[in-house]
Chain A
């Protein structure tokens, strides 16, 4: 699968094989999978459960490694990096937004957004300034002092987005970002992601089941088309 976009390639997956051991069975999730995403694209990865959408997202984000093949992000091959180097690379290059926001309950919204900046050379004052700016971008500045339990689901997800963009990564990976939200809130979150894509040039890859969510993307990739029947059976077994 290749992009028609002639712009610079931000994400490139080459001949990716990914399989899991489940008991004595070897479950193949991706078999010689190829994907290219250009810089500044907003891509929605769609398909039924169990087709490896999240796995793909995790491979792009360096959270998981392929069984074989190469993952190239911004011209850097990341699947060969050590665990430590991969952590540093993630901190500098990728922002994550998950379905469950995973905010630290002991920290305020401001504290949660500041968290990734602990890995940067910024001082305390600069970290606060960056976090405030990110919160302002997602419209949560007034809730900066609130703990996650004092926020609504949509507000928590906004804070999670602020945390994802605070260190100014070029790529934002979203795994079902609207999965736990009502329609109205989901639209707000998707509009926010579109804004980040259009106004700030962020490359966004979003895994979603939601057809309406996919309408916000500049490109939709349906994984169902790229997986054969036998592989689907295996994946369904894994899902069970």
Chain B
């Protein structure tokens, strides 16, 4: 017999009540962990690998194109080291359920500037020489079983080629790996020159430029110079750092995540009240026993510790089951949304949050019973008034 056995036995005194309350806790932590997993997918990869890269797009919308000749004009601005560009192809394989992130990029400069894509030099050279060549990520190669030399037809819902069809023929020339997250190995690149010459409309236009500046240059100053240069043209620009651009792109998802998060917080606090109520009720039912334990010599603090451990046990058990359920669910969900929303996973830091929440919730749930126990008068509770 020790305090832990006492806590264990007291916890299961009312099995139905314990089970129902525990289920509530499981649901709260399941939702909390599930959201954390989805939130991770929405907010991860918002960091750029290069702090000296800018992104210049049309001031009104990313959907609007900019003239290709801006490349020379931007390159001439003091502080700019080089300028690359890209256009959004969209794209899917076979049918629209297999959506792919396909970009047409400047084959001369793009991979020199974006050196985080790791591929054999021989393959890169081969790609530069192949007008219809593709550079694909390892994850894409694994998923579709593509290898260098394979002929791959990709369709676009935006771009029709000069043959009047939306399906473009490509050849896999190179496969890259990404040093960081495997989710960034899901992009596909092909030559902008081929794209520009073959598309039926909007030639000599690009979606965005990526100016790279010298290391000692003030990014804000260069950004302002670029935007000022095109301020009074039809193609007015908006230049930001790559980091800001990526963050803005995911902001819409982050806002959505914030709303879900607030809902889950509301659910969590409601459940906290349920657990608090359970502990208060459980404590009230045992006041006579608590008074007897005090009479036997147990201090108020021992009884408070007992209540705290009971709350902790209930919350920890619920949290454990909730986190395991969420983890299993996320494995399934991440498999389903592997293309649409890569990176669904529970971060290790989340478990630290869970542990802190358990401690905090156990403290809050024990407060009222603790006050009752501290004020408990043995003689009154055990019935002697005179």
- Scoring B residues 263 to 306 as 1 if CB is less than 8 Å from chain A, else 0, what string do you get? 00000000000000000000000001101111111111000000
Tell me the minimal C-beta distance from B131 to chain A in angstroms.
Answer: 80
| Partner of B2 from A29, A104, A118, A235 at Cβ < 8 Å | A118
Tell me the minimal C-beta distance from B357 to chain A in angstroms.
Answer: 28
Query: Is A235 a contact partner of B386 (Cβ separation < 8 A)?
Result: yes
Q: B2, B377, B378, B385: which has the most chain A beta carbons within 10 Å?
A: B385
Residues of A within 8 A of B379 (CB): 54-55, 58, 63-64
| Partner of A238 from B1, B10, B386 at Cβ < 8 Å | B386
Residues of A within 8 A of B3 (CB): 118
Give Cα distance in the complex from A96 to B386, angstroms: 18
Give Cα distance in the complex from A115 to B385, angstroms: 27
Query: Is A111 a contact partner of B1 (Cβ separation < 8 A)?
Result: yes
- B329 at the A/B interface (Cβ < 8 Å)? no
Write the chain B residue with the least CB distance to A128.
B1
Residues of A within 8 A of B293 (CB): 115
Give Cα distance in the complex from A87 to B300, angstroms: 9
Given A63-B295, A92-B297, A111-B1, A54-B386 contact (CB < 8 Å): yes
Given A100-B288, A111-B1, A124-B2, A105-B13 contact (CB < 8 Å): yes
- B197 at the A/B interface (Cβ < 8 Å)? no
Give Cα distance in the complex from A52 to B383, angstroms: 12
Query: Is A98 a contact partner of B292 (Cβ separation < 8 A)?
Result: yes
Give Cα distance in the complex from A88 to B300, angstroms: 12
- B382 at the A/B interface (Cβ < 8 Å)? yes
Given A102-B288, A127-B1, A115-B296 contact (CB < 8 Å): yes
Tell me the minimal C-beta distance from A157 to chain B in angstroms.
Answer: 14
Query: Is B295 a contact partner of A106 (Cβ separation < 8 A)?
Result: no
Give Cα distance in the complex from A116 to B294, angstroms: 10
Given A61-B295, A90-B297, A91-B296, A50-B13 contact (CB < 8 Å): no
Query: Is A116 a contact partner of B297 (Cβ separation < 8 A)?
Result: yes
Give Cα distance in the complex from A98 to B378, angstroms: 12
Residues of A within 8 A of B1 (CB): 107, 111, 114-115, 118, 124, 127
| Chain A, range 78-135, C-beta contacts under 8 Å to B | 83-84, 87-92, 96, 98, 100, 102, 104-107, 111, 114-116, 118-119, 124, 127
Query: Is A58 a contact partner of B296 (Cβ separation < 8 A)?
Result: no
Give Cα distance in the complex from A51 to B384, angstroms: 11
| Partner of B383 from A54, A84, A124, A238 at Cβ < 8 Å | A54
Query: Is B289 a contact partner of A102 (Cβ separation < 8 A)?
Result: yes
Residues of A within 8 A of B296 (CB): 90-91, 96, 115-116, 119, 163
Query: Is B385 a contact partner of A20 (Cβ separation < 8 A)?
Result: yes
Residues of A within 8 A of B378 (CB): 58, 63-64
Binding site for A on B (CB under 8 A): 1-3, 6, 9-10, 12-13, 288-289, 291-300, 377-379, 382-386
Binding site for B on A (CB under 8 A): 20, 27, 29, 49-52, 54-55, 57-58, 61, 63-64, 83-84, 87-92, 96, 98, 100, 102, 104-107, 111, 114-116, 118-119, 124, 127, 163, 175, 235, 238-239
**Interface CB pairs A-B, < 8 A, 25:** A20-B386, A29-B386, A49-B386, A54-B386, A57-B384, A63-B379, A64-B379, A84-B299, A89-B297, A90-B295, A90-B297, A91-B296, A96-B295, A98-B292, A100-B288, A102-B382, A106-B13, A107-B9, A115-B293, A115-B296, A118-B1, A119-B296, A119-B298, A235-B386, A239-B385
Starting from the known contacts A52-B386, A92-B297, 6 additional A-B residue pairs (CB-CB under 8 Å) come to: A83-B299, A87-B298, A88-B299, A90-B296, A115-B293, A235-B386
Q: Nearest 4 pairs between A and B by C-beta?
A: A91-B297, A54-B384, A102-B292, A106-B9
